[in-house]
Structure formats: C-alpha cells, structure tokens
Structure 1
Amino acid sequence: MKKLLAVFIFCCAPFYANAQTGYEITIDLKNCNDSLAYLTFYRFDKTLIKDTCTTIKNGRIVFKGKEKLDKGIYSLVSQQKTILFDFFIDDDTQKLELKSEMGANLNKDLTAVNSVKQNDFFKYLKFLGEQNRSFFEYKQKTVLATKNDSLDLAKKQKELEQSIVDYEENFIAQNKGSYIADVINLKMEKGLKNVPNASNGRPDSIAVYQYYKDNFWRNVDFKNDAMMRNPFLFSKLKTYFDKVIVTHPDTVCVEIDKLLLKTKPESLMYKLLLAHFTYTYETSKIMGFDKVFVHLSDNYFKTGKANGIYDDADVVQRIIKRADKMKPLLIGAKAIDLSMIRAEDFPKFKAMGFETAKNSEEMTQVFYKNANEVNKMFVKLSEVKADYTILVFWDVDCGHCQKEIPVLVKAYNELLEEKKNVKVYSVYTLHEGEKYLKYIADNKLPFINLYDGAHYNNVIEKYDVYSTPVIYVLDKNKIIRAKRIEAGNVKTIIKAIETENLKL
C-alpha cells in the first residue's frame, strides 16, 4: 500500500507542478460582437500588449500562455483599442474567470467567478465611480451664487475625498500583504489627519506639507518591479518631482539619488527610473535643470551604473558626451572665454584672406601670416568691464533672431536709461560680413558687434548653439546667471539677480 501511495504521489507531482505554470484568463462578455481582443498591461508610462485573442466565440475571450504573467494591473482592450476594464494579476490569479455584459453596465456587472480578492478590487473601482458620479451630479445642481455655496461645495468635495481615503485604508487593512493592497497604497494620498495649529492659531500648513512629503512614498516597495506595472507610479512620480519637493536642481539631484537607492541595482525598476530622469532633465525647459542631467551622467553613466539601460550601448557614451558639453555652461559656472573680432574689421580680415581660405590648412597659414595684427584685434569676453554682460549668439537671416534682436535692443537701452552698467557681447555666428555690417547700420545696433573672424573660437561647439538666438546673462565676474532666455526677460532677470545680491 505504501509503495502504491508513493507511486501515486510521484505520478501526480509533475501534473501538480504543471498545473501551477502558465496563465489562462477567461472572460465571458455577453453581447460582445468583437472578433478580436487584447490583453494589455501598464508599465511605468506605457501600456503594452501582452496577448491577443483572435477566436472570440459568443463573447467568450480566452488569453492563455505557458509562462506565468508578471504581477500587475492588466486591461481588457476591445477590437477598437478601447480599454473596457482593468483587473489585477498576482500569483493567485493566474487562472482567472471573469464575466460581464457589454454596454452601460459593463463595469457594474463585472464579476470574478473564482477570486474573492478580484471581486473586492472590482467593488473598490465601483465605489470610486459612484463617489465621483455623486459629486459630479451635486456640482451640476449647485449654483455658486454666494460664498457659502462655494464653501458647501468644498465641504462636499472634502467629504468625498475622506470617504475614499477611509475605504482605501480599510481595503489595505483587509488585504494586507497582497499585491493589490500595495497598488492601492501607492495610489493613496497620505495626508495629516489631526492638523495642529501654528503660532498664529491657524492650521499649521508647514506641518501638513512636511507630513505629506515625508509620507509620500510610505510602504512603497521600489525593490519590487511589480510596482511599476500599474497606472499610478508614473503620475505619482511626476507629482512628487513637479509639485511636492522644492523646485531646485540641487534638491532634485538629492531626491533622485534617494529614490534610486530604494531600488535593486540593475532591476527593471532602476533602469526605467534612471532612463526617465535622464530624458526628463536633458530635455527640461526649466532654466538650470540641465545640472540634474550632468549629475546623472557623472554619477551613474560615467561610473558604469547605467550599463544595460539601453539596448544600444553607444547611447551611454552619447549621453556622457552631451553632458560633458553642457557642464561648462551650467548656471553658476564661469563663462568660457571668447576672442572675437569686431564686425567693423571684417574688410581687413577679408583682405587678409580669411574669407577665401578653402580649408583648415589654408586658414592656419593665413592666421600665422597675420598673427601679430590679428592678436591686437581680438575682443575678449573676459575683458569686457560691466556689472552685467549679455552674451547673445545670433544670425542675421534667422527669423526668430529678427524678432528677438530688436527686443534686446529695447531692453538694453532701457537698462542704460536706468543707469545699469550693462554691455551686450553680440556674436554673429556666420561669416557673411557685408550682410552683418548692413544689418548693424540699418538697425543702429548699439552692441559690441562681433564675429569669429579668425575662425578661432568654434562658438557653435563651445556654447552649444544648436539654434539661434541664444542669450546668456553674465555677472561682473562673468559667472553665468541665466541662459537660453527670451530677450524680453533680460530686464526681469537682471532685477532678480540684484534682489538676490541684496539678500546676501
């Protein structure tokens, strides 16, 4: 008997192991006329297709695979590529049966045949829908005629938000340790409940903010890659970096480092976060935030901590090269010196042969032949004496420059009227001297008008002038205080620098 039992267990073991592998999602959807459906999942900022069902019969949709599905929030997507509903997958829901009916009651009738936790999640989604619908209807009926009407609406909204928080806290408590509880925790806004009063007797807004910031990522496990397979992480990340922390590049660098330390090195979570931060701050439109990009290059890409993030290994080297170019141009860096030639000296340089030299070798010969005279004609950026130097790179034929340069002239003249010690180091990026001189004369350009007559500076590369105009504001020590600004903002920025200096 014992021998037979042992054989029975041995024979059943492979069957049992096999039963635990793979996935099978069966969805009975009444009145579904589609012949095709997709199984998709969220991953950070994207929605990706995991499986496709091409054999829908009588509304029965089956997704099946030999490998287990990763934990995450998944969606049933129609033939028209519309998300019909979401559900979660974890270790206990690899074999899942769902049912509902196409139409207005799709989400209301949505039921899991074989998962209590899945039904709890569906109830939660229905609760959110009911609360939002209730508030919308209340708002539609409310006429905001008086201050009290607005206060009542705000009170109603606060009650709705609190009811959601209470529901979510209860859901997490009842499903503690489950994947879906971790997702709801990620989504939750964690606010201070018993707000103390400040010294003025009013609610302490600083305490509220500090609690919100300190608890923003409470119980979020960044070592678990499944935490990026939902629709909440990416938006929550943007909220944190755009609205919660201080908007300053140094603060952002610290917060990024802290967040990446919470992840497993070389995990998918780590790679996606680092790639996201790198792209975000390389392309940031906020002045000064390229410092974050340089920080990432120095601390992650140059140290080998970014290896494997991109399929193309050359991308890492391109990022390092780009950051190295930007590093000398950061806010707070001393401006790279330039030695330029006055526009009025263009005829002399043309006569020397600089404009007709066919290659770099001929250019070098012309330079050394006339070196003594040329060296006397250089106007160095570092030698311009002014409290503020406006450094502008532009092109006569550039449409945007034709709009911005007159604005800069106006701002410059107004600054002089205000007795500001300011000068404009104006660099024409091309070599069509006659055209440049004509523009200066026609527009009475009151700047230090220069160009790279000796082909000595390579300003395009040095100052990363990939489009024109590019405007920098330098202080009296030639420290970069502002960069890539609109001409109309020059006066405002100089005023801000002066205000900042008064505080020091």
Structure 2
Amino acid sequence: MKKLLFTLICFYSSLTISAQSGYEITINLKNCTDSLAYLTFYRFDKTLIKDTCTTIKNGKIVFKGKEKLDKGVYSLVSQQKSILFDFFIDDDTQQLEINSEYGANVMTELSATNSKRQNDFFSYIRYITQQNKEFIELKQKKELKTKQDTLSLAEIQKTFEQRILDYEEKFIENNKGTILGDVMNLKMEKILKNVPKASNGRPDSLQVFKYYKTHYWDNVDFKQESIIRNPFFFNKLNRYFEKVVVTHPDSVSVEVDRLLAKTTYQSLVYKLMLAHFTYTYETSKIMGFDKIFVHIVDTYFKTGKANGIYDDPEVVQKIIKRAEKLRPLLVGAKAQELMMIKADDFDKMKAMGFENAKNSEEMTKVFYANVNQVNKMWVKLSEVKAEYTILVFWDVDCGHCQKEIPVLVKSYNELLQEKKDVKVFSVYMQHEGEKYLKYIADNKLPFINVYDGAHYNNAVEKYDVYSTPVIYILDKNKTILAKRIDANKVTMIIKAIETEIKNKK
C-alpha cells in the first residue's frame, strides 16, 4: 500500500511538472464560427505565428505546447488574419483561460478566469479605448467657428491626455517589476512635468528636450529578451534615432554603440538590433549616413562581433566587402582618380581599335600597343582646376538622365552667372561615341565631356554607379562635399557650403 501511494504521488508530481513546463492557452469565444485561429507574438519589427488551432468547437480555442512560451505580448488572430485582441504571457500565465465574444464586443467582454493581472491589462485597454472614443465623439460634435472654439478644444484634449497619462503612470507603478510594467514603460513617454522658464519667460524647451533624451530609456532592461516581444520597442527605437539623436553620422554612431553595449553580447536582442542598424544605415537615404554603416562594419563585422546574426555566414563577408567599397566614397574622403578620354577623341580611340576589342585580353593588347598616344590623351579628374567640381555619371539613353542633365545644365549656368568657380566633369558610362557626340552637339552640353574610352577606370565599381545619374560635388582639393544628389539641389548645396564656411570664419 505504501509502495502504491508513493507511486501515485510520483505519478501526479510528474504530471504537475509536465504541465508547468509547457503552455495551454484556452480562449472561449462566444459566437465564433471560425474553424481556424492563430496565436502570434511580436518580435522586434515582425509579428510571427507561434501556434495554430484547427479544432475550434463552439468557440473554444486551445493552443497547447510542451515548452513554455517566451515572455511577451501575444495576439489572438482570426481565420481572416486580423488581430482580435492582445494579451501578455509570463511565467504565471502559461496556463491561461480567457473569455470574450466574437465581433464588436470582443474588447468589452474580455476577461481572464485565472489571472488578475491579465484582467488589469484588459481593463487598461478598455479605459484607453473609451477615453479616445469619448474625445473623438466630443470633437465631432464641437463646432469650430472661432479661434476661441479651437483653443477650447485644445484644452479639452489636454485634459483627456492628462487623464490618460495619470492612469498609465499609476498602472505602471502598480505593475512595476512585471512583464506588464516593462511593456507599458516602453509605451510611455518620459516628459518633464515642472518645466522651468527660459530667460525670455517662456517654457524652457531645451530643458524639456534634455530631460526627454536623458530619461528616454529609463527602466528599459536591454538584457531582457522580453523587451523585443511587444508592439512598442521597435517604434521607440526608431523614434529615438529619428527624433532624439542629433542627425549627424558621428552622433548616431556613438548612440548605436551605446545601446548595443546595454545588451547581452550575442543575445537575440543584440543580434536583431545589430542587424537592424546595419540594414538601416547601409540603405539610408540621408546623405553621409553610410559613414555609420562603415563604422558598424569596422566595429562589429570586422572584429567578429557580428558572427551568428545571419543564417548564411557569407553574408558577413558580403557586408564587409560592401563597406570597403563605400569607404573611399564617404563625404569628406578624397575622390578617387578618374583617367578619362574626351568625347571629341572618340574617333581616334576607335581608329586604335578600342571599339572593336571583344574581350579584356584584346583590350589589353590594344591599350599597350597605343599606350604612348593614350597617355597624352588622358583627362584626369585630379587636374580639373575649380573651386567646385560637379562629377556626374550618366547615360544618353537613361530616361532619368534625360530629365536630370538639362536641369544640371541650367544649375551650372546659374552658378556661372553668380561668378562661382565651378566645372562639371561629365562621365558618359557607355561607349557609343556617335550617340554621345550627337547629344553633346544637340544640347550644347557645356561640360568637360568624357568617357572611359580606354576601358581603364571601371567607374561602376569605383564610384558605386549601380544606376544613373549619380552626382557628386567636390571641393578644389577633390574632397567629396556631397554625393548622390538631384541636379536641382546642386546650386542650393553649394550655397549652403559657402554659408557654412563663412560662419566658421
């Protein structure tokens, strides 16, 4: 008997341990006619499917697994792939039962039978939803006939916002130290309450901003993976770099390093953030921000600290190679030499046989057979004498070039009229000389018109010309001042550069 009792105790204990090691989420959804539902979770910038229920009976949805769910915010997603509601999961809610009603009342009827904190979360959602609804209804009813009406509505809006803010602050305080408190902390903005006055008597906006930046990441633990499993962290991260950090590559690079240092090396948070920063600044449209990408590659990829963040290890090497291509093209770098042939010398190059060479071997033979003559024909970028050199790579048949080149001609002529010492080094990227010469003549192209007649430069690789046109602005020492700009921005950028130089004196 004792042996049997001991066996039963062990049996039930093993069942308990087994149940605790997995998860079971039961959702009773009245009036649900779907035959399929998804359990999804947030991860950084994506929403991923964790589980699927294909056996819905009378609105009862069960998600069950042998391993515990990771802490974070999860969603019930309908058969039509729309989110019905969110809920959170932590160590205490692996066995969870939720009740609601399918349709318009899903949020109103939402409740958990075995988790007070889950119910607090649902109450929070209902409160915020109700406050927003009340304000919208009030706004729609209010007629804005006078300035006073507008000011009155603004005051009402402030009242609603303050009410929500007070509620959220109290909610976070009540849930401090929990996954729910951490998630809501990410959503909350850190705002200075008692704003001091500036010397002009107005609220000191500088102090407001300083406080906002200093406290932006308060109570955010980058070592907890749960910070990326919610709908707030990714947007908060982007907002920080877009709105808070100074828009300068050096400032951004410092902040990238500072935030990555807060994570656990090689953790999922570290890997996702590093991959995000790498892609963001490699593809950034902000001029000069490729410097951040090069910094990231130097600091993490070339030192082995990026190993493991991509499934394919060759990706790391490709990214390093990409950075090395961009390094000599960064704003502030010395422009690489180009040794071109004048468009007017096309016939001479053709007579030498350059246009008839069928492969690189034949081209090399033609080059060395005529090397002395070709050496006398070079037009070197480094030898262009001007305060500003506009370097443009383009193609006669390129549709975008056909729009941009006339604009560049107009900008160039305007700069000359303003007595600016500027020249345009115009590089045709193909070898159809007759077509190039015709365009020059028809459009009276007033540039230094050249092309790679001796196939010597490989400008596509050297200047990363993966599409045309590509425009650079260089100073008198051929240092890159601006790059990849539209033709209509050339005059404005040169004037801005001159203004900046004057202000520094």
Name the counterpart of 1:238. Answer: 238
Mapped to 2, the partners of 1:249 and 1:148 lie a distance apart of: 45
Counterpart check, 1:313 vs 2:307 = no
C-alpha distance in 1 between matches for 2:498 and 2:377: 33
- The one-character-per-residue Cα deviations of 1:412-462 (angstroms, maximum 9, x if unpaired) are 011111110000000001111111111111111000000011111111110
Aligned residue in 2 for 1:465: 465
Aligned position for 1:410: 410
Whole-angstrom distance in 1 between the partners of 2:32 and 2:13:
39
Separation in 1 of the partners of 2:176 and 2:244? 27
> In the alignment, what sits opposite 1:388?
388
- Please give the residue correspondences for 1:323-362 in structure 2 after superposition, counting only pairs within 5 Å: 323-362=323-362
Superposition deviation, residue 11 in structure 1: 5.4
Instruction: Give the distance between the partners of 1:403 and 1:7, measured in 2 at CA.
Output: 85
Give 1:68's aligned residue.
68
* Residue type at the aligned position of 2:212: Y
Look up the equivalent residue of 2:101 and give its one-letter code.
Answer: E
Q: Which residue of 2 aligns with 1:500?
A: 500
Query: How far apart are residue 142 of structure 1 and its match?
Result: 2.1
Report the Cα offset of residue 479 of structure 1: 0.9
CA shift for structure 1 position 2: 11
Question: Which residue of the partner structure matches residue 49 of structure 2?
Answer: 49
Match of 1:22 in 2: 22
The reply on whether 1:196 has 2:208 as its aligned counterpart is no
> How many Å separate the matches in 1 of 2:396 and 2:193?
61
Q: Which residue of 1 aligns with 2:297?
A: 297
Deviation per residue, 1:118-144 (Å, 9 max, x gap): 000000000110111111112112222
**Residue ranges of structure 2 left out of the alignment (5+ in a row):** none
Shift of 1:13: 3.9
Percent of residue pairs identical: 73
Q: Which amino acid aligns with 1:379?
A: V
Determine helix, strand or coil for the equivalent of 1:502: helix
Q: Deviations over 1:373-421 (max 9, x none)?
A: 2111111111111011000000111111111111101110111111100
Q: Larger deviation: 379-388 or 13-22?
A: 13-22
Residue deviations 1:1-31 (CA, integer Å, cap 9, x gap): 9999987765554333223111011111111
Q: Which moved more, 1:170-179 or 1:488-497?
A: 170-179
Q: For the residues of structure 1 that align with 2:141 and 2:480, how far apart are their CA atoms?
A: 55
Per the normalisation by structure 2, the TM-score is 0.97
- What is the match of residue 248 of structure 2? 248
What does the per-residue CA deviation read over 1:189-234, in whole Å, with 9 as the maximum and x for residues that have no partner? 1100000001111100000001011111110111111110000011
**Aligned positions of 1:71-90 closer than 5 A:** 71-90=71-90
Counterpart of 1:119 in structure 2 is 119
The amino acid across from 1:112 in the alignment is: A
SS in 1 for 2:218: coil
**Counterpart residue number, 2:456:** 456
Amino acid at match of 1:266: Q
Deviation of 1:278 (Å): 0.9
CA distance in 2, matches of 1:207, 1:164: 24
CA offsets per residue over residues 311-360 of structure 1, 9 Å max, x none?
01111111111111011001111111111111001111111111111222
Separation in structure 2 between the aligned mates of residue 19 and residue 369 of structure 1, nearest angstrom: 83
The alpha-carbon deviation at position 365 of structure 1 amounts to 1.8
* Cα distance in 1 between the residues matched to 2:267 and 2:150: 48
Counterpart amino acid of 2:370?
Answer: N
* 1:99-248 pair list within 5 angstroms: 99-248=99-248
> Which residue is equivalent to 1:371?
371
Distance 1:178 1:467 in 2: 51
Shift of 1:169: 1.4
In the other structure, the counterpart of 1:476 is 476
SS at match of 1:478: coil
Q: Which amino acid aligns with 2:49?
A: I
Q: Secondary structure at the match of 1:491?
A: helix
**What SS does the aligned partner of 2:91 have?**
coil
State the one-letter code of the partner of 2:447.
F
Which residue in 2 is equivalent to 1:270?
270
Shift of 1:270: 0.6
What amino acid does structure 2 have at the position aligned with 1:174? N
Shift of 1:258: 0.6
Q: Distance in 1 between matches of 2:413 and 2:205?
A: 44
CA RMSD, 1 decimal: 1.5
SS of corresponding position for 1:20? helix
2:474 and 2:258 map into 1 onto residues whose CA distance is 33
Take 2:150 and 2:499, find their aligned partners in 1: how far apart are those partners? 39
SS at match of 2:299: helix
SS in 1 for 2:254: helix
* Distance (whole Å) between structure 1 residues aligned to residue 239 and residue 154 of structure 2: 22
Q: Distance in 1 between matches of 2:74 and 2:372?
A: 73
What is the Cα deviation at residue 82 of structure 1? 0.8
Cα-to-partner distance string for 1:51-100 (whole Å, 9 max, x where unaligned)? 11111111111111111111110111111111100000000000000101
Q: Distance in 2 between matches of 1:170 and 1:8?
A: 47
Equivalent in the alignment of 2:433: 433
The letter of the residue matching 1:307 is: N
CA displacement 1:280-303 (0-9 Å, x = unmatched): 111111111111111111111111
Judged with a 3 Å threshold, the aligned counterparts in structure 2 of structure 1 residues 37 and 10 are, in CA distance, closer, same or farther, namely closer
Q: Distance in 2 between matches of 1:148 and 1:213?
A: 34
- Cα distance in 2 for partners of 1:80, 1:441 equals 62
